[in-house]
Structure 1
Amino acid sequence: MTLHMTSHGRRSVWSAIKRGFAGRCPACGDGRLFGRFLKVNDHCPACGEAFHHHRADDLPPYLVIVIVGHIVGSGILAAETYSDWPAWLHMALWPTVTVVLSLLLLQPVKGAVVALQWANGMHGFGGVDEEALMADHDRAGKSD
């Protein structure tokens, strides 16, 4: 299902992911999602949607590792199979391609992850105070 109902109404998952991948606000598509390279703005400068409670954490780097690993691994295998490049060329090319692709993909992938959280109402994007819920849960667990 691509549409989710939240306290903010319907949110299109794919539209939000595309906007996040482009570094735009998943809600309006106009405001910038990032203030710096990997620093998510606290809120959208265009529509005011809050982003301070996102929890992208380690998922974006893991996804980038998988994506870049498949691209570079396939490139290395193809180069070894169909060409006769010297070892120095491999040693110069593949680490450079790995670093450049990783740096190019990290911000868009993080934007897509934050947008996915927004679209699904996760980690405070759904209007629920998760910290208060966890505090209540912890208090209830201590009384047992």
Structure 2
Amino acid sequence: MTERKPDPAGGGSATLPPPIASGLYGCCPRCGAKTLFRTFLAFADRCPACGLQFSDFNVGDGPVVFLTLGIGTLVTILALWLELSLSPPFWVHLLLWPVVTLAMVVGSLRIAKGLLLALEFRNRAHEGRIAED
């Protein structure tokens, strides 16, 4: 489902891509071109299709902290379940869980960063500023 927003250029209304597309496919939140990421996890500076400056958005480390804590909880529960149900040797835990944790965090980080940037764009979020008189 796409949302219709007034076009800043004055040409009626523009159709914004859904925010989840920015994370899943790396789509620009304004035009939908797949130009959001320069590398797997690094944002491009700007969209070559519409000129939106991605560097103006402050995604920060929020997604990393949230994903690490959430996935860490899930991995801990899974490790306890494995230990209590199968009682594998300790080296199985040492080999399995760091790889699973790293893969889950890095794999979902791109989606979380793209989604957060798209939501900042859609909601016109920005850092607080003190107005000078």
Same fold (TM over 0.5): yes
Q: 1:54-84 CA deviation, whole Å, 9 max, x = no partner?
A: 0011211112113311331221122123212
Normalization by structure 1: what TM-score? 0.71
CA distance in structure 2 between the aligned counterparts of 1:33 and 1:77, rounded to whole angstroms: 38
Report the counterpart of residue 43 of structure 2 in structure 1. 40
Residue 56 of structure 2 is matched in structure 1 by 53
Matched residues, percent identical? 29
Q: Helix, strand or coil: the match of 1:68?
A: helix
Bigger relative contact order (CA 8 A; separation at least 6): 1
C-alpha displacement of 1:51: 1.6
Distance verdict in 2 for CA 1:7–1:46, change over 3 Å: closer
- Return the TM-score normalized by structure 2: 0.76
The DSSP-based 3-state class of the residue aligned with 2:35 is coil
Does the 8 Å contact 1:11/1:120 carry over to 2? no
Separation of aligned partners in 2, 1:69 and 1:4: 38
What residue number does 1:69 align with? 72
Equivalenced residue count is 126
Q: Which amino acid aligns with 1:120?
A: N
Aligned partner of 1:78 in structure 2 is 81
SS class of match (1:49):
coil
Partner residue, 2:34 = 31
1:11: how far off? 7.8
- 2:23 aligns with 21
Structure 1 stretches of 4+ moved >3 Å: 3-12
Answer yes or no: is 1:106 the counterpart of 2:109: yes
Residues in 2 aligned to 1:116 and 1:83: alpha-carbon distance in whole angstroms: 43
In the aligned structure 2, how far is the partner of 1:77 from the partner of 1:4?
47
**Gap regions ≥5 residues in structure 2:** none
* Mapped contact 1:20–1:108 kept (Cα < 8 A): yes
Q: Could you tell me which runs of 5 or more consecutive residues in structure 1 were left unpaired when the two chains were aligned.
A: 125-129
Change (3 A) 1:85 1:91: same
Contact 1:21–1:111 at 8 Å: present in 2 too? yes
Structure with the largest fraction of helix: 1
The alignment's C-alpha RMSD in Å is 2.8
